[in-house]
Chains A and B, each alone.
Chain A
């Protein structure tokens, strides 16, 4: 039995891999660490065979022996089609090892090399020209790993260059995710509506209780909401939890309906903080679907998540402040809603929002159960 297994294993290892027919890619990875800058470049053997000719005996089988025999030609070809500059000039690319690997579309030669620049660089610029003359659809998939922060780019004939400044990764990541968070909440009808019904009561008695007490109440609710959705956004981005969008969408509609109902006929008492937190968890699932699973690790991941959640919180606070300012001015000048008792405004708007959200909830959960 063991012998049989061993024989099978040998067969499996010896069998030439089934190479897929995909477009031509190379994988270029540059690692920047305290010890220096090193590169690894995976280039498809099919492409190298066209460019420099590797299948020496022309039998259609590229063997490791044939790859080794052409190492000098392969390296000369590859490194004459890549320029790396930094530290005041072009950097020397010196090969350190040649290996093999299998990617989805077949066998690759793996070139490892050191990058030595005239001085210690604070930024690198790349110009990539591999194979573009033979196959303009070739792409170089670049990853620059700067002390754990990854920058990626797809290099093609129209965009052969890429520059990266070291250490800027986390700031840039933070800012771009901050923007994403802002965009998401501004375009998120459901979330804004929920916040509106959540804050309405505090908004309503701004005159009676004074602006600072009302602001404090609103700020607490908002912060609880943010803290909660930060938790679920993080869990979802790390793929620890996965909830289908149609379920979270229905739950979000439900949360609006419940909070609106409480505005009309209070039944939650002073547990609105709990509501803000609990429903914040659900809304976080909605935010997470906008963010998608993140292929980041370490500090860049932290920067991205903090940026995203901060963006959401900034917009929430800004809108709440505007709403309070308007409310304060309106009531402060004694402007009264015509023909409407002051106490009717909150239940009426809440009723309208309740109607909408109840309809969304039924519509969204109806799709869940009725269709086969």
Chain B
């Protein structure tokens, strides 16, 4: 009797091992196949009727006739970059770089091209090179609005708040618009002046809705994030207004999904991001929402994410460090690995979001020095972030 039980158990374990082996083999070596049906769809691309794509195609054709036309190349590359940023699609960022290839390595390219090159470098997370280009442009043309705006963004991302604030001030001096106000509010809100920043930006967004919906969306997202960090429930409305201005904005969708996850509203995340799982950042939020709501597809989402991170790693790319750290921590329960990724990420960028994942991973991995590092950073910047402060209060110092 007992032996029979043992035999059954052995058989079950053998089956589990076989199944596990099968799953890993399937992930490791995808097997090429001949699709049985000619109508089987293998890949979706933007339809050729897409107006953005049509413009790109037309301009590429003209550029092929006039390969040295700098203005045309800059125009085309800017269009490619904007799809890349809007769809969070690194291929289009690569096409933009390809369009600029004849001038890409020039030490001193003309100003419009150099600003665009900085924006491409920013999208590729090469922040030091982007800063070099922007500073060089501003040395030639101190009133270049875009250069100041991008420099403010890059500086804030890398934690150089003083440089970011200077860029915002210059922006306000040249053209005191919503962009300048949002720029300053974003920096001030993470350096000890969250309340004034919020009030100023709230007035500005209400008074002068921007004609440019992407600018309006950007400003409202900053407003929402300030409210979120202060624990103000108005954040929800601001996020919704931002998405009303620009419904497909990946940054805002990601930020709103994170807010909803914090608010324990996974069902709203699933609704918000339905059908948007081709973007890695959004797939991660879908996976977290599936886990929080106990949905059965949580595991499949996690496997898909693991495959994408592995593909990026195979080519030596590091665009995902923050998200990958969160993935390892929350979905794979590997605090040491998460901490290592969060640490690498911290070397590249230092926003409140980067601080948060670093602190979460450090707390889970029980790494006291890292916890102290974030505590010191938070104290030094004067960051007002309720979640972060609550976590620090609970973390062992």
Taking Cβ atoms with an 8 Å cutoff, the residues of A that contact B are 14, 16-25, 40, 42, 44-47, 49-50, 55, 58-65, 67-68, 99-107, 110, 133-139, 141, 154, 244-246, 367-368, 370-372
10 new A-B contacts, CB < 8 A, other than A65-B39, A100-B34, A135-B97, are A20-B283, A23-B315, A46-B43, A61-B44, A62-B42, A65-B38, A101-B33, A106-B44, A138-B94, A367-B367
Cβ 8 A contact of A135, one of B35, B98, B311, B368: B98
B residues 36-77 with Cβ under 8 Å of A?
A: 37-49
Chain B hits for A14, CB < 8 A: 40
- Chain A neighbourhood of B42, CB < 8 A: 16-17, 45, 62-64, 67, 100, 102, 106-107
Contact pick for A22, options B32, B40, B308, B396, CB 8 Å: B308
Instruction: Please give, as numbers and ranges, the residues of chain A lying within 8 Å of B43 by CB-CB distance.
Output: 16-17, 19, 44-46, 49, 61-62, 106-107
Question: Would you list 10 pairs from A and B whose C-beta atoms are within 8 A, ordered by A residue?
Answer: A21-B91, A23-B91, A60-B46, A62-B44, A64-B40, A99-B34, A100-B33, A101-B30, A110-B32, A154-B314
In the bound complex, CA of A51 to CA of B38 (Å): 22
* B310 interfacial by beta-carbon distance below 8 Å: yes
Shortest CB-to-CB span from A294 to chain B, Å, is: 14
Which residues does chain A contribute within 8 Å of B33, judged by CB atoms? 99-101
A355 CB, nearest partner CB in chain B, Å? 22
Could you tell me the distance in whole angstroms from the C-beta of A105 to the nearest C-beta in chain B? 6
Do A16 and B91 have beta carbons less than 8 Å apart?
no
Docked pose: A168 CA to B140 CA in angstroms = 55
Using known A-B contacts A105-B308, A105-B311, determine if residue A55 contacts B45 with beta carbons closer than 8 Å: yes
In the assembled complex, the CB of B338 is this many whole angstroms from the nearest CB of chain A, namely 13
Among B45, B47, B90, B308, chain A packs the most CB atoms within 10 A around the CB of: B45
Are B40 and A135 in contact, with the CB atoms below 8 A?
A: no
B residues near A244, Cβ cutoff 8 Å: 336
Closest 5 CB pairs of A and B: A58-B48, A65-B38, A107-B42, A60-B47, A107-B43
Docked pose: A245 CA to B340 CA in angstroms: 13
Confirm or deny: B129 has a beta carbon within 8 angstroms of a beta carbon on chain A: no
Query: Does B93 reach chain A (CB closer than 8 Å)?
Result: yes
Question: Which chain B residue lies CB-closest to A58?
Answer: B48
Q: Which residues of B contact A103 (CB under 8 A)?
A: 30, 307, 311
Could you list which residues of chain B lie within 8 angstroms of chain A, going by C-beta atoms?
Answer: 30-35, 37-49, 87-91, 93-95, 97-98, 101, 104, 124, 277-280, 283, 304, 307-308, 310-312, 314-317, 319, 336, 363, 366-368, 396
Q: Which residue of A lies closest to B28 (CB)?
A: A295
- Contact present for A101 and B32 (CB under 8 Å): yes
Cβ–Cβ < 8 Å partners of B314 in chain A: 25, 141, 154
Identify A139's interface contact among B35, B98, B315, CB under 8 A.
B315
Across the interface, name the chain B residue whose C-beta is closest to A111: B32
Whether A99 pairs with B32 at a CB distance below 8 angstroms is yes
Q: By the criterion CB–CB under 8 Å, are B368 and A136 in contact?
A: no
Kindly list chain B residues whose C-beta atoms are within 8 Å of the C-beta of A16: 41-44
Given A102-B30, A133-B98, does the pair A19, B40 have CB atoms closer than 8 Å? no
A40 vs B280: C-alpha distance when bound (angstroms)? 28
CB distance from B213 to the nearest CB of A (A): 22
State in angstroms the CA–CA spacing of A283 and B38 once bound together: 58
With A61-B44, A100-B32, A100-B35 in contact, do A136 and B94 touch (Cβ < 8 Å)?
yes
Given that A21-B280, A65-B39 are contacting pairs, would A372 and B396 also be in contact in the complex, using a CB cutoff of 8 Å? yes
- Min Cβ gap B390→A in Å is 14
Determine the residue in chain A with the shortest Cβ distance to B91.
Answer: A24
Bound Cα distance A244, B91 (Å): 38
- CA of A24 to CA of B283 in the docked complex: distance in angstroms? 19
Nearest-Cβ distance from residue B81 to partner chain A, whole angstroms: 12
Task: Determine the distance from Cα of A59 to Cα of B53 in the docked complex, in whole angstroms.
Answer: 13
Bound: A64/B40 CA distance, A: 6
In the complex, are the beta carbons of B280 and A50 less than 8 A apart?
A: no
Which of A55, A65, A104 sits near B310, CB closer than 8 Å? Answer: A104
Could you tell me if B368 and A50 are in contact, using CB atoms closer than 8 angstroms?
no
Most chain B Cβ neighbours within 10 Å, of A22, A101, A110: A22
Contact between chains at B37 and A25 (CB < 8 Å): no
Q: Is the CB of B38 within 8 A of A19?
A: no
- CA of A368 to CA of B335 in the docked complex: distance in angstroms? 13
What is the CA–CA distance of A372 and B285 in the complex, to the nearest angstrom?
Answer: 26
- Bound-state CA distance A99–B94 (Å) is 27
Contact of B104 with A63 in the complex, beta carbons under 8 Å: no
Inter-chain contact B95/A22, CB cutoff 8 Å: no
Chain B neighbourhood of A19, CB < 8 A: 43-44, 278
Inter-chain contact A63/B41, CB cutoff 8 Å: yes
Q: When A46-B43, A136-B98 are in contact, do A104 and B308 touch as well, CB less than 8 Å?
A: yes
Q: How far is the CA of A24 from the CA of B312 in the complex (A)?
A: 10
List chain B residues, Cβ under 8 A from A22: 90-91, 280, 308, 311-312
**A3→B395 CA distance, assembly (Å):** 54
Residues from chain B with Cβ under 8 Å of A62 in the complex: 41-45
The reply to whether A154 and B311 form a contact with Cβ atoms under 8 Å apart is no
Question: In whole angstroms, what is the CA distance A42 to B277 when docked?
Answer: 23
B119 CB, nearest partner CB in chain A, Å: 15
Judge whether B366 and A371 touch: CB under 8 Å: yes
Q: Is B396 a contact partner of A24 (Cβ separation < 8 A)?
A: no
Whole-angstrom distance between the Cβ of A6 and the nearest chain B Cβ: 15
Residues of chain A within 8 A of B308, CB atoms compared: 20, 22, 104-105
How near does chain B come to A250, taking the closest CB pair, in angstroms? 12
The residue in chain B whose Cβ has the minimal distance to the Cβ of A152 is B314
- Find chain A residues with CB under 8 A from B312 CB: 22-23
Across the interface, do A20 and B336 meet the contact criterion of CB distance under 8 Å?
no
CB distance from B273 to the nearest CB of A (A): 12
Q: What residues on B are CB-neighbors of A246 within 8 Å?
A: 336
Q: Are A135 and B37 in contact (CB under 8 A)?
A: no
